[in-house]
Structure 1
Amino acid sequence: MRRVLPVLLLLPVAACAAPRDPEVTFHADGRTINVKPTQYCDLASEDCAIDTEAAGVLRVRPGKPVQISVPGELAKSAWSVKFTYRNARGEPQEPLRSKLFTERDPKYAYTLVLPKKDDQLESVEVQQYGSRIEAGATGSFDFVARGTWVLSVDDRT
């Protein structure tokens, strides 16, 4: 005789577990940090949960790359990496963005390399895009971020 009843009793308990927000992993200079989203919304980017305490901090020396790993649910969606940095003289540079990664060619990891070897990274944002599109100030159309994972850089040497 098979025991079906105990399995059936466990299913409702497992189904009630709250879904966890996906985490992004940042790695630099031999250290790793997992970061929860500072913003995570439904697919239409309307119903959002905000967690200002979720941003991570990691020490990154000038010119050093940052490796970023994302979970499958993020890799199989539209996402990109936006970052700010300053040059060797300490002058803020125009923020840059990686190419757009999409579900057509899932990308589970990305290595952020600064334009010049003496540049200092300041912040990194992994942005997952939802289905909502808005008109930009220049007349272009932009996808609205559904999820944002933020890394602040500690640049003390």
Structure 2
Amino acid sequence: MHRGLKPLLAVAAAGLAAGCASPNQPQVTFYSHGDSVAVDAAQYCDPTGDQCSPPNQEAVGELRMANRDPLQISVPAEVSQAPWQVVFLYQGLDGKQLDGRSPVFTPNSRHAYTLQLPPDGARIEHVEVQQFSAVLTQGADGGVDFGIGGSWVLDVKQ
């Protein structure tokens, strides 16, 4: 797991500690340049955050991609029924590791997303699909944060 996403997964793990039972776990499919991989949830809770599976650090997909190829991501209805987004780490043209994120997609608005590198990017390294839960926590800035109820992780190989 990449260093830059540990805080994101730590937030998700805190939200998962609440429940014991395992809900049905959907898979997310990642596709690029003729190859695809279906990935199990690294962490998954039902939308209310009541029933959660234990974190699965072995559920990390791998996919080979050419440097600037787009990555297509397909999520099933179980994921798209709640707000979700894509967060990613990428290598910049200057060799530095950078991060980015998609917009947050509203419930039932879409089942797919194509991740294109930002103009300053050389290659995608790590991608995480995050499904938000109904669990709210107090944010550091005084507002509220939504918990991460599901997480699907992909490491990109060159």
TM-score bracket, shorter-length normalisation:
0.7 to 0.9
What CA distance in whole angstroms lies between the structure 2 residues aligned with 1:118 and 1:61?
13
Q: Could you say which residue in structure 2 is the equivalent of 1:55? A: 60
Q: CA deviation at 1:37?
A: 0.3
Q: Could you say which residue in structure 2 is the equivalent of 1:85? A: 90
Q: Could you say which residue in structure 2 is the equivalent of 1:9? A: none
Q: Does 1:148 align with 2:129?
A: no
Q: Does 1:133 align with 2:145?
A: no
Q: Could you say which residue in structure 1 is the equivalent of 2:19? A: none
Q: Could you say which residue in structure 2 is the equivalent of 1:101? A: 105
Q: Could you say which residue in structure 1 is the equivalent of 2:46? A: 42
Identity of aligned residues (%): 40
TM-score (norm 2): 0.78
Aligned residues of 1:79 and 1:102 also touching (Cα < 8 A): yes
Task: Give the alignment's Cα RMSD to 1 decimal.
Answer: 1.9
Consecutive aligned runs of 4 or more in structure 1 exceeding 6 Å deviation: none
Q: CA deviation at 1:39?
A: 0.2
Q: CA deviation at 1:116?
A: 2.1
Bigger radius of gyration among the two? 1
Match of 2:97, SS state, is: coil
CA deviation profile, 1:107-149 (whole Å, cap 9, x unmatched): 0110000112752111111001110112222333221100000
Aligned residues of 1:62 and 1:117 also touching (Cα < 8 A): no
Aligned residues of 1:26 and 1:68 also touching (Cα < 8 A): yes
Q: Could you say which residue in structure 1 is the equivalent of 2:31? A: 27
Aligned residues: 136
Match of 1:64, SS state, is: coil
Structure 1 residue ranges without an equivalent (≥5): 1-17
Q: After the TM superposition, which of the residue ranges 143-152 and 117-126 deviates more from structure 2?
A: 117-126
What CA distance in whole angstroms lies between the structure 2 residues aligned with 1:21 and 1:31?
23
Match of 2:153, SS state, is: strand
TM-score (norm 1): 0.78
Q: CA deviation at 1:154?
A: 0.9
What CA distance in whole angstroms lies between the structure 2 residues aligned with 1:82 and 1:70?
14
CA deviation profile, 1:18-37 (whole Å, cap 9, x unmatched): 96410000001210000010
Letter in 2 for 1:122: E
What CA distance in whole angstroms lies between the structure 1 residues aligned with 2:106 and 2:91?
29
